[in-house]
Structure 1
Amino acid sequence: MSSTIPASYSPPIRNPTKKPIQNTNLCLLLLCNHLQEAKQIHALMIKSSQISDAYSASRLTEFYAVSDNGSLKYAEKVFNSVEEPGTFIWNTLIRGSLNKKKPHKAILLYDRMLCQSIEQDHFTFTFILKACTQLLALAIGRQLHAQIVKQGLEYSGFVRNKLIHLYAICGLIIDARKLFDTSTELDIVTWNSMLEGYADNKDGESLHQLFDRMPVRDGVSWNTMIAYYVQVGDFKDAIEMFRQMQDDGERPNRVTFISVLSAVAQLGALAQGRWVHTYIGKHRIELDENLGSALINMYAKCGCLDGAIQAFHETSQKNVDTWNAMISGLAANGQSLKALKFFLKMELSGVWPNEITFSCVLNACSHGGLVEDGLRYFRKMKDVYGIEPDIAHYGCMVDLFGRAGLFDKAEEIIGKMPMKPDAVMLKALLGACRIHRNIEMGERAGLQLIELAPYDHASYVLLSNIYAMGDKWDQVHKVRKTMWERGIRKPPGCSSVELDGVVHEFVVGDITHSRKKQVYEMLDEMGERLKLAGYEPDTKQVLLDIDEEEVRQTSLGHHSEKLAIAFGFISTSPGTTVRVMKNIRVCSDCHSAIKLLSNIYNRDIIVRDSNRFHHFRNGSCSCMDYW
């Protein structure tokens, strides 16, 4: 039995030789491209009494309920006009409710079916189980399972696949597997339902075993695996699975590309992202709002704004997410004024901004030091668009004032906002205290941050930074001791550079790379040229009380981003932009050094850390030394 649900199906006709009356109207209905046209045919059916024919009424209901150009309200009107609606028309209305994202309504319709003793078939249970899955309504699903068994439909491929999916997505993976193992017919949908269940439950060992056992795989199978790797943060494996998918001869689709672009964005693997973009263009795949947004986001997170802007202009359908991706990308890459210009274009285009849009806009103002603009947009958000500021918007304002050194304003807005500060806001305030050397406020904010996020390593590191800045090494030790006692560890710094589609990773003091000899020779050369340029290591960035000054300087010189840049220098021709991705925040010492390196070697160096992008060029950085 095939488990593919047909787009539509016909109700049983008691007298097959008898043709439905007024067949012309039904033919016209098939040609409908607009709701208004369907309403005219509806009027003709009423005028000719055709609407009283159950078959004709069911077909009209189907158009209204299921068609993209239909209307659930009109479907219900036709349904209510039928004296004794049969199973098909009930199923059609349930299906239409699902299409319109109204699963609660679908379940209420099913309840009415039961109350009126209407016969259910496997389509009914397929649709209602889908509604239960969308709502995670496990209790109702179990009741349905009992009714399915009672009616002898438990071995229907349609129904069994939906049951497996429901149990799996609700976390009852053992129950799902029992159904899978007792299925008499395992088609691709059954396998995929079980596969998706393991992926949703992050059960990697079982997921791989099932995938390896699959006799046949389709696009859904591969997409499930790729999406799983993205979900658990195994971005390299996601890209590797994408390659295997192509080797297997399976053609990727939009869903594939959205997952792959997400993985590429996280790795900063620009060359691979460009390959995906070229593939999309070569196969004439339309850039809709979802795929277009993913492509824009990928380029922006790889620090390639020209690519992001190109993808934006190629996107045929631009919704608020598309604009948000572009504005956010520009803001994160230090192009605050361009970000605000795009927001103005968005307003002129008629796209209504949402709360995420204003977070992007306020971030742009914050990163660009545009205090007056930030205040204006903060007021406009509520006064013009009726959007109440949330914690993210207040956080942007605190960041905005903090960057400008307006600590009174920052404290004032914290005192007035209708919620308590969150960790993101306090981290922004700590960053401002570090830049403006406000040790007193930084200590208060840091202690509050540790209380709010006691198991976040960044809370302790940021407070340590503040104490180290004030030469309070006893307090640095105290913070580090508390961190150690609580079992909290700072993740090691890791930086990566992509070369010819391969991502090369480095950790502090790395000696594992195949070209380590050349990397360290380059690192020594960089150190000598930095000294000649007047560079002095900021040894306070080594937040351990190490007495030997030379040891401190060596530790700084071997930070992962410097190793990655050295590898980039020896692996590319002069003048080539070097792109580095780092998992944690760039320290002040490395930031100062990289500014000089960009000038010494006449190279553009782009570093993406956990906070933002740094575009180094001619001895300066796009972040204006604030991050």
Structure 2
Amino acid sequence: MSSARGSLRLLEKCINMRQLKQAHAQIVLGGLGENRFAISRILAFCSDPNSGCVAHAQVLFRQTKQPTICICNTMIKTLLLKGEYTRLADIYRQILHDGLLPDNYTFPYMLKGCAHLRDSQIGEQVHGHALQLGFDFDVFVGNTLILMYSACGKMEDAHQMFDLTPQRNAASWTVLISAYSKLGEVGAARELFDQSQVKDRGVWGCMISGYVQNNCFKEALGMFRDMQLAGVKPDEGIFVSILSACAQLGALDLGTWIHRYLKRVGFTLGIRLSTALIDMYLKSGDWALAIKLFANMPQRDVISWNVMIIGLATHGDGRGALELFAQMQREGFSPDETTFLAVLSACSHSGLVSEGLREFKSMKAVHGIEPRGEHYGCVVDFLSRAGLFNEAQGIIAMMPTSSSPSEKAVAWRALLSACWRHGEEQLAELAARCLLQLEDHSGAYVLLSNVYRRSGRHGVAEGVKKLMWGRGVAKPPGCSSVEIGGSVHEFVAGERVHRQMSQVYEVLHAMSHHMDDNGATCTSDETIL
């Protein structure tokens, strides 16, 4: 008996499934195979994302006679952590069949599973049971009900659950703010944030992340400054979000300040944070520092490699991107769809046609990755840029029938753009016609108009522009931003909303006069902005 109890203690020391199975065997031989603590511990170990085994957990659970609600909860959690969401309902039915009462652990686990499956039908049944058993006022059950309804797209029900939760905590606000952000309703998310009675780091981080997800980068930076003034210290997730905003805005000063701050306070640069810094430096133009950071990373993942390859591609170093791709594979990393998108983009930016075709063919043949519309679009782009229009049309014809209209539009747009560069008027008309069948976007009209203008047919070019306006297709205004003193200033063509716009125009007029005095020409200030 003492050896069996020793085996129970061994469970706490297991680090892999082999050791766990050995300890389990000793427990069974010692007569403690039905010991509830042992069963719970074994099931809990099986839920480990790295070391666990859901199959072993399922066999053990099936062999357990009269499992307690605690054991059932542990099994549900195991399936949840392992992503086996479709099997949760079977365990829940067994709980009800055996006459066990679900508790405040059962309901949150089940509702999280329903959220992953986006299955409101089962979720509503679980909700009904929670009401019957008096758990409707439990804050943890309430929060997961908000999560479940919002994940299933039932925002009215989610908000109603939020309103009915009597003791809301920070997680309550975070779940609903996140839900509205994912739907693109940033205004509603911000309104909730402002109403929040508890603003911990999670709530701040959720709102900042919501802004970044919805491309509201300036607002994200403003929220970050407000958070600092409130005395709330950021965590890794917040730093990653802010560095992403800095990368998109080219806010190198703020990004560099964050990097120095992280060093000063001794913040550990994990894979996510290092990758975010590399991405920020690449997009802000400090290529050398990005390469240095990447070289010094003690650990990398596929995302790190992808970011670096994309960065090299964007800077026109196609050869460097391909060398990095080869190094990635030598170090044992398997490329994914994003990797190949980066590699093909690098070939397109650098005119590496044969290399691009080789890597495109290797996607399915060597790596078992089915190319998507974006991959075909990249191939069409580098073939068209090289003037290989027949080959480019052949690639478009090869695109799978399952490709979405937007994916097909990418390929035709690449072909149309190359026609403008090469003066291929007849093919441009075909490409524009096919593109407009897929999307009524200003880009097709503008590119076709430019093709006609290049060939000297200005009247036809103006006719295309008038057709675009007549159909009510608007051309998105140009936008640029500049960082000065840690603040990002944004300018949109045709707008005069910036508080220093009068001073900007004064400088532009002065520059224009200076250029005229020196024999240069300058477009009007309206065109510049």
Same-fold status (TM-score > 0.5): yes
Residue number in structure 2 paired with 1:179:
161
How many residues are paired up?
521
Alignment of 1:432-443 (within 5 A): 432-443=418-429
Distance in 2 of aligned mates of 1:367 and 1:102:
42
Post-superposition offset of 1:524: 4.5
Post-superposition offset of 1:398: 1.4
Q: Contact 1:188/1:217 (CA < 8 Å) preserved in 2?
A: yes
Distance in 2 of aligned mates of 1:490 and 1:29:
65
Q: What residue identity is the alignment partner of 1:130?
A: K
Post-superposition offset of 1:21: 9.4
Q: Contact 1:287/1:316 (CA < 8 Å) preserved in 2?
A: no
Distance 1:354 1:469, change over 3 A: same
Q: What residue identity is the alignment partner of 2:452?
A: Y
Alignment of 1:362-381 (within 5 A): 362-381=344-363
Q: 1:277 aligns with which of 252, 259, 271?
A: 259
Q: Contact 1:493/1:508 (CA < 8 Å) preserved in 2?
A: yes
3-state DSSP of counterpart to 2:105: helix
Per-residue CA deviations over 1:494-529 (Å, capped at 9, x if unaligned) read: 222222212233445777153432343235445666
Q: Contact 2:278/2:308 (CA < 8 Å) preserved in 1?
A: yes
Residue number in structure 2 paired with 1:430:
416
Distance in 1 of aligned mates of 2:37 and 2:393:
69
- What is the alpha-carbon root mean square deviation over aligned residues? 2.6
Residue number in structure 2 paired with 1:554:
523
3-state DSSP of counterpart to 1:422: helix
Query: Are positions 1:32 and 2:14 aligned together?
Result: yes
Identity over the aligned pairs, expressed in percent?
Answer: 38
Per-residue CA deviations over 1:98-119 (Å, capped at 9, x if unaligned) read: 1112211223321232233333
Per-residue CA deviations over 1:112-131 (Å, capped at 9, x if unaligned) read: 32233333111111100011
320-329 or 71-80: which moved more?
A: 71-80
Post-superposition offset of 1:432: 1.3
3-state DSSP of counterpart to 2:480: strand
Residue number in structure 2 paired with 1:621:
none
Residue number in structure 2 paired with 1:93:
75
Q: Contact 1:496/1:504 (CA < 8 Å) preserved in 2?
A: yes
Post-superposition offset of 1:33: 2.7
Per-residue CA deviations over 1:441-470 (Å, capped at 9, x if unaligned) read: 12221222222211x221211111112112
Distance in 1 of aligned mates of 2:204 and 2:413:
39
Query: Are positions 1:258 and 2:240 aligned together?
Result: yes
Distance 1:132 1:513, change over 3 A: farther
Question: Gaps (5+ residues) in structure 2?
Answer: none
Distance 1:180 1:377, change over 3 A: closer
Residue number in structure 2 paired with 1:468:
453
Q: What residue identity is the alignment partner of 1:94?
A: I
Residue number in structure 2 paired with 1:499:
484
3-state DSSP of counterpart to 1:122: coil
Distance 1:441 1:206, change over 3 A: closer
Distance 1:92 1:523, change over 3 A: farther
Q: Give the structure, 1 or 2, with the largest relative contact order (CA under 8 Å, sep 6 or more).
A: 1
Q: Contact 1:21/1:53 (CA < 8 Å) preserved in 2?
A: no
Q: Contact 2:3/2:30 (CA < 8 Å) preserved in 1?
A: no
Q: 1:517 aligns with which of 506, 519, 525?
A: 506
Alignment of 1:226-305 (within 5 A): 226-305=208-287
Q: 1:479 aligns with which of 464, 467, 479?
A: 464
502-511 or 164-173: which moved more?
A: 502-511
Distance in 2 of aligned mates of 1:130 and 1:198:
18
TM-score (norm 2): 0.91
Residue number in structure 1 paired with 2:114:
132
Distance in 2 of aligned mates of 1:530 and 1:381:
55
Distance in 2 of aligned mates of 1:26 and 1:389:
50
Distance in 1 of aligned mates of 2:391 and 2:513:
46
Q: Contact 2:8/2:27 (CA < 8 Å) preserved in 1?
A: no
Distance in 1 of aligned mates of 2:392 and 2:312:
25
Query: Are positions 1:457 and 2:442 aligned together?
Result: yes
Distance in 2 of aligned mates of 1:530 and 1:281:
50
Distance 1:216 1:20, change over 3 A: farther
TM-score (norm 1): 0.77
Distance in 2 of aligned mates of 1:297 and 1:137:
36
Q: Contact 2:186/2:211 (CA < 8 Å) preserved in 1?
A: no
Distance 1:412 1:116, change over 3 A: same
Q: Contact 1:362/1:393 (CA < 8 Å) preserved in 2?
A: yes
3-state DSSP of counterpart to 2:488: strand
Distance 1:205 1:431, change over 3 A: closer
Distance 1:530 1:134, change over 3 A: farther
Distance 1:209 1:471, change over 3 A: same
Per-residue CA deviations over 1:541-594 (Å, capped at 9, x if unaligned) read: xxxxxxxxxxxx634x7644xx6xxxxxxxxxxxxxxxxxxxxxxxxxxxxxxx
Post-superposition offset of 1:472: 1.9
Q: 1:410 aligns with which of 392, 397, 401?
A: 392
Distance 1:111 1:285, change over 3 A: farther
Per-residue CA deviations over 1:412-467 (Å, capped at 9, x if unaligned) read: 3333444477121122112211221112212221222222211x221211111112
Q: What residue identity is the alignment partner of 1:127?
A: Y
Q: What residue identity is the alignment partner of 1:166?
A: M
Q: Contact 2:76/2:88 (CA < 8 Å) preserved in 1?
A: yes
Q: Contact 1:297/1:308 (CA < 8 Å) preserved in 2?
A: yes
3-state DSSP of counterpart to 1:504: strand
Q: What residue identity is the alignment partner of 1:374?
A: G
290-299 or 475-484: which moved more?
A: 290-299
Q: What residue identity is the alignment partner of 2:471?
A: R
More helix by share: 2
